[in-house]
Amino acid sequence: MRARPEAESQGGAQRPVHRLGPLVSAIAAGNTAVVKPSEVSEASAAVVVEMIPKFLDPDAVAVVTGGVPETTALLDQHWDLIFFTGSPAIGKIIHQAAAKHLTPTVLELGGKNPTIVHSSAKIKSAARRIAFGRFANSGHICTAPDHVLVWPDVKDELVAELKEAIHDFYGDDPKTSPDYGRVINRRSFDRLAGLIDSGTVAAGGETDAEELYIAPTVLVDVPVDSPIMQDEVFGPILPVLEVDSVDAVVDWVNERPDPLGLYVFSEDESVAEHILERTSSGDACVNDCSVHPLVQQLPFGGVGNSGMGKYHGHWGFEAFTNARGVLYHSALIDPGVKYPPYSEHQLERKVMQKLM
């Protein structure tokens, strides 16, 4: 039996966090693997390089570091499966390289995860959960709420509760909070700092380039065509926009690339079901956001622009295996009726022979 190698890459400036969950699934499914951590987060890559050979058989799991040249060299190999977590732009490059060898891929990509807050929602709870999902890890989470679509009659209350949640989580000065992180590098800092002007700052807005610090920021009065609404934010900035109907929400989601996650906050079950039934996303949460990957019983992954394939738990085992059907057929019974020549007379004769 040939073990199936797995090439995992976290490439691209938009995905600095190394996750070894896919490796667990690959090993559980009986594979060998090559892990390629991102060159963007050097410190965690160094930990991966140190720890994997220490605790895993180096003949079964190898680690390759480096940037574009090393990743390109890996993609030139003939793998049995490539698993990639990263941006849609890099995911397309991975998929194109895999196609040369007809190699299957599992791609977990990003997207602008819409977060809907209906008038019936419990606003305080919604605000706390949205703030946690957006500002944890300084916003560097692929399942984070990217933007909020809120009904006008509860918008001001939601923004006020978001500000209160930020204060509860990170204190008077989030810059000094041990629970609030920094942006991964200067390139990402410059990109994110430039997005703050996309709307009116309702909370946060402070930056410090030397410390790569961007305060947890909430924007309102954000034009639909503003820079922050064009690509995944992937940082600690949350645009809040108004929407006035369920149908408008459905149109908003369907007019844009399929997101990795879609989040609906509503105490009216019919509202949530209407939105979920008429839209597409990799996964979804009702009255929460971002935390669904922690539930191992749920399949996790994207759809369309946000990826392909599912993993986690049993779904991860399925992703890293290739089911092969094998039929054992006894030679003791071999009815002649299945063999030619076929005619009405021949069929009747053969049936009668078997019955006599």
Task: Given the residues 142, 232, 285, 289, select the one marked as catalytic.
Answer: 142
- Give me the residue label for tokens 């499966």: 81
Tally of residues, the chain: 356
Taking residue 31's Cβ as centre, other Cβ atoms within 10 Å add up to 19
- Which of 72, 197, 85, 218 shows the shortest CA–CA distance to 150? 218
Residue 210 annotated in active site: no
- Which of 98, 155, 99, 165 shows the shortest CA–CA distance to 133? 165
- Which of 98, 81, 107 shows the shortest CA–CA distance to 12? 107
Furthest-apart CA pair in the chain: how many Å? 94
State how far the Cα of 141 lies from the Cα of 185, in Å rounded to an integer. Answer: 15
- Which of 199, 53, 230, 211 shows the shortest CA–CA distance to 138? 211
Q: Which ranges constitute the DSSP H helices of 109-151?
A: 123-135
Sheet arrangement for strand 283-286: 200-203, 217-220, 237-242, 147-150, 114-117, 261-265, 283-286
Residue 108 annotated in active site: yes
Q: Each residue of 44-56: b (16+ CB within 10 Å) or e?
A: bbeebeeebeeeb
State how far the Cα of 354 lies from the Cα of 356, in Å rounded to an integer. Answer: 6
Task: Given the residues 8, 39, 108, 161, select the one marked as catalytic.
Answer: 108
Output the CA torsion 215→216→220→225 (10° steps): 80
Residue 186, amino acid: R
Q: Which are the catalytic amino acids?
A: 108, 142
